[in-house]
Amino acid sequence: MVDEPVLDAERIFRVLQEFEVEYVLIGGIAVQTHGHVRMTNDADLIPAPDPGNLARLADALNSMDAKVLDPGHETEAITASMLPRSTIWQFTTRDGNIDVMLEVPGGREFEQLSRDAVRISLGDVAIPVVGLDDLVRMKLARGRKVDLEDVAALTDE
Amino acid sequence: MALRAGTRQSAISRLERDEVSPTIETMELLLNAMGETLEFGPVPMERNYDPFHRKSMGERSPEERLALAVSWNRTAGRVREAGRKAGAGRGR
């Protein structure tokens, strides 16, 4: 069994910024940012789907020594052309696991998600976190127990 | 059932085969035919968190919450790793 790396999301965000990757952060860290504390061991993001951005994302992932986790694809090279071949890719990197999602149930177009994202600064790193309404919508569409628990907490204002 | 509810057996069959979704009125009619009634109303979702903790987090800024989240996840990962190593050490 491969040891799971410790998630250092700040380093991941910094690398994404250095490579000028356009993305929106979703998943557990977005849930935490919107006020519900629960642990997560990966960073989930939706990248802008244009080829140039996917090439920058592939470069950023490779700079973090990323490897594909998806069964059957472990040895696949991470490139701009491989990313659109699946709606979700799971990577392990030296700074933690990253899920890249090109399509998410309940998710709107990237431009809309990005427009309504909350821009948050962590030191000198800017992180676009998905807006609360979009996050709730995605969680409801996914519908697992953990997603509905997240919705219960996120809507408790 | 169809006779009691004043509908056709084929309509009941379509419901049973999950081919159609019944309206609330149909559900009520069918339940009434079985001597039952339909209760309908909002119920809070299952809450699996500490409401006081949730409230105190809500009072922090998004920047503070993200910084805390990054730190907690990192700490949780380190603790998990330390636990794994300790477990591996005991196994030797």
Residue B27 covered by a domain = yes
Q: How far apart are CA A148 and CA A140, in angstroms?
A: 7
A118 touches chain B (CB under 8 A): yes
The pLDDT value given to residue A100: 98
The pLDDT value given to residue B91: 57
Residue B74 covered by a domain = no
Residue B89 covered by a domain = no
- Across the interface, whether the CB atoms of B70 and A156 are under 8 A apart is answered no
- Across the interface, whether the CB atoms of B72 and A37 are under 8 A apart is answered yes
Average pLDDT over residues B36-50: 87
| A150: number of Cβ within 10 Å | 28
Residue B22 covered by a domain = yes
A152 touches chain B (CB under 8 A): yes
Domain that holds residue B27: 2-33
Vertex A9 angle, CA A4 and A15, to 5°: 110
- Of the candidates A32, A122, A148, the beta carbon closest to that of B45 is on A148
pLDDT in tens, B51-68: 888 999 999 999 999 999
What's domain A9-142's architecture?
2-Layer Sandwich (3.30)
Q: Give 10-residue mean pLDDT values along chain A (157 residues).
A: 82 98 97 91 96 98 96 93 95 96 95 97 95 96 92 89
The pLDDT value given to residue B65: 94
pTM beyond 0.80: the answer is yes
The pLDDT value given to residue A50: 96
Quick one: closest CA in A to B82, which residue?
A6
Counting the structural domains of chain B, the total is 1
Residue B64 covered by a domain = no
Residue B6 covered by a domain = yes
A59 touches chain B (CB under 8 A): no
What ipTM did this prediction achieve?
Answer: 0.84
